[in-house]
Structure 1
Amino acid sequence: MRTNRLVLATAVLAAAALALSACAPAQTARADGSATLRPAVSGERRSLTVPGFGRVNSYADPRGTGRPLILTHSVNAAASAYEMRPLWETYAGTRPVYALEWPGFGSSERPDVTYTPELMAAALRALVAELGTDVDVVSLSLGGEFVARAALGEPRIRTLALISPSGFGQPRNGTQRAPADDGGVRLYNRLNSVGDLVYGTLRTRPSIQYFLSRSFRGPVPKGVIDYAYDTSHQPGAKYAPLYFVSGRLFNPDAYGTLYSRLNVPTLVLYDQDGFVSFDRLPLFAQKANARVVRIPDTDGLPQFEKLPEVRAALDAFWAEAR
């Protein structure tokens, strides 16, 4: 059983290389010759310091009017704000938009430290505090658990929109839950002992292309594969994903301890997803402030393949919530 879990976990690391928008090769050189990712979206790249961790980056376009919108990406082997680029391009210039890159991902620092759900929630709370005003938040996949955790303690988060969130159903392919006995610590230690070999295998172009194909109904654009390859080859890229695949970034009972306790208006967008399931969505839909919308013919990334439908659902949700 342990061996099976290890195999599943390593497969999930590659499978979690979710779709990023098609773009030019996404790295340039620093003055010291090392690689750095190009900006994930248009706008100003900003940094803030999260106590006990270090630098966390976000992108800012403060133009437009209305309540600021914060976009947060998923957690996977190649995660960055590129995952939310379609929504960024949709709303930038019409309302203030910010895209947070979680600790250990994208252009944020990637040190060899302990990554936890609370660290991720703290990063979002730090950005909200820096903005100093009420915000709407849209998050993807496992990021939904982090933003729900943050919203329970930050009243300035006024609405949540969760795209294909984890934590609403039973695990698939070894995902969504850490081993119950130790929270994934032993599995993490085993993966970490061979981390360079495991991660080096999973970030090859054939592996990335194969697993990205599970998140698209059509062909995966070459630019998507190129960017996934580039971001997974950044210094320190393996550290946070190892916590992800060992289950240590998932809440053991996200529905009971997070989603069921939310009092802010919350929208869930979903359809098919190879890595998360939605068994408890009918129960969640009964909450007074909850809304559930299916975006048909998508595999977990409707913002790429059904952007007009996603925007219509978001705009209707925000109008109702106001």
Structure 2
Amino acid sequence: MSVLPPALDAERFEIDTPAGRVSAYRAWPSSGAANLPPVLLVHSVNASGSAAEVKPMFEHCRRRRAVYALDLPGFGFSERRDRVYTPRLMTDAIHALLAHMREAHGVEAIDVLGVSLAVEFVVRAQQEAPHTVRRMALVSPTGFSGPKRRYGPPGSTLFQAWLLKILSWPFWTEGIYRNLTRPSVIRYFLERTWGSKRIDDALWRYDVITTRQPGARFAPLHFVSAGMFSRDINTLYEAVTCPVWVSMATRGDFTDYQGKVTVEQRPNWQFHAIEGGALPYFEDLAAFTDKLDPFWG
């Protein structure tokens, strides 16, 4: 097993939270910072998630403002023990880091960028504490695909207990996870995310290493069992009143946003189809930030 290196070239720190020990990275300009609050970047959830998924954005932001990137519970350097991984756990980690950032920088509200499924946790945090989030950027958000929206009971999820029980059977659980995280399989899923074979090889290499760490399988198995998908997410989306910026992929597995009709006419929402896959800032950072930076102000 290889020792896990830092995902980002930045200071890494840990805080104790209701979601357990959480790791994050931080950086800021040495001089000439823009008059903007800090920004928090939250990576997606999959079998190999980590703050490495937001590296290009972290490097871009650090030249202009204070930037933080979170390792969600169960991923990266955050606590990976065997427990139930839910939207509640992930949202609590975001709340804790937002509180830390607000105190450290003496600001009332933080800007937040979330990726894919993490968008659901970011929006939940914003809805539970609206005064803590100024603006949200949602990259390839879940909850807008397919013909059906999710308006379930508050806090409910799509969790399939029977599936987790099967995946967690001691006789084969480690083997299942090893097969899901073979280097060739990780590459395959990144190619589907990109919609191209021209993936970021540095991210692929980091993904391979992070899936070999102790406890790496626990959070992903809850993800595969749909335990991290919120059954009420569209109710939350439609309740947001702060400014929201959304990027939509044009290639790969995440190009269906037919559900955006529920919010796209609202003045606080703006949608942008950005050429590329679900992590477009890896492919053309300038094209992505040219659209996003004016939104921050």
TM range (shorter): 0.7 to 0.9
Q: TM-score, normalised by structure 1?
A: 0.81
Cα distance in 2, alignment partners of residues 276 and 49 from structure 1: 37
The 8 Å contact of residues 249 and 273 in structure 2, kept in 1 or not, is answered as: yes
Aligned mates of 1:171, 1:57 — CA distance in 2:
37
TM-score, normalised to structure 2, is 0.87
- CA distance 1:232–1:311, change in 2 (3 Å): same
Q: Is 1:210–2:188 an aligned residue pair?
A: yes
| Distance in 2 (alpha carbons) for counterparts of 1:204 and 1:218 | 17
Give the secondary structure class of the aligned counterpart of 1:123: helix
- 2:164 corresponds in structure 1 to 188
Aligned-partner Cα distance in 2 for 1:233–1:276: 30
Tell me, yes or no, if the aligned pair for 1:138 and 1:160 is still in contact at 8 Å: yes
Q: Deviations over 1:54-102 (max 9, x none)?
A: 2101101133342101101000011111110000111113200000110
CA distance in 1, matches of 2:223, 2:110: 27
Q: How does 1:252-291 map to 2 (within 5 A)?
A: 252-256=231-235, 258-272=236-250, 273-275=252-254, 277-291=256-270
Q: Distance in 2 between matches of 1:75 and 1:171?
A: 23
Give the CA deviation at 1:226: 1.7
| Counterpart residue type for residue 129 of structure 1 | A
Letter in 2 for 1:40: A
Residue 294 of structure 1 deviates from its aligned partner by 0.8
Q: Tell me how far apart the structure 1 counterparts of residues 226 and 253 of structure 2 sit (CA, whole Å).
A: 17
Q: 1:149 to 1:205 in 2, by over 3 A?
A: same
| Number of the residue aligned with 2:25 | 59
TM-superposition CA deviations, 1:238-260 (whole Å, max 9, x none) = 0000010100100123112x111
Letter in 2 for 1:242: L
- Supply the distance in 1 between the matched residues of 2:61 and 2:192 (Cα, whole angstroms): 27
Q: Which residue of 2 is the match for residue 93 of structure 1?
A: 63
Q: Deviations over 1:95-126 (max 9, x none)?
A: 00000110001111101011110111111110
Residue-by-residue CA offset, 1:11-54 (whole Å, 9 max, x unaligned)? xxxxxxxxxxxxxxxxxxxxxxx754211112210111122x42
Percent identical among aligned pairs is 36
3-state secondary structure, aligned to 2:119 = helix
CA distance in 2, matches of 1:140, 1:129: 20
Cα distance in 2, alignment partners of residues 274 and 87 from structure 1: 22
User: For residue 268 of structure 1, what is the amino acid of its counterpart?
Assistant: V
Per-residue CA deviations over 1:176-204 (Å, capped at 9, x if unaligned) read x9xx9973111111111132111011111
The answer for the alignment partner of 2:8 in structure 1 is: 41
How many angstroms apart in 2 are the aligned matches of 1:237 and 1:182? 22
1:152 aligned to 2:131? no
> 2:293 corresponds to which letter in structure 1?
D
Specify the alignment match of 2:100 in structure 1: 130
Q: Secondary structure at the match of 1:152?
A: helix
- Distance of 1:202 and 1:284 partners within structure 2: 35
Give me the whole-angstrom Cα distance separating, in 1, the residues matched to 2:23 and 2:117.
Answer: 19
Q: Does the C-alpha gap of structure 1 residues 69 and 192 become closer, same or farther in structure 2, counting only changes over 3 Å?
A: same
Deviation at 1:221, TM superposition (A): 4.3
Q: Give yes or no for contact 2:117–2:141 (8 Å, CA) kept in 1.
A: yes
**Any runs of at least 4 consecutive aligned residues in structure 1 with deviations exceeding 6 A, and if so which?**
none
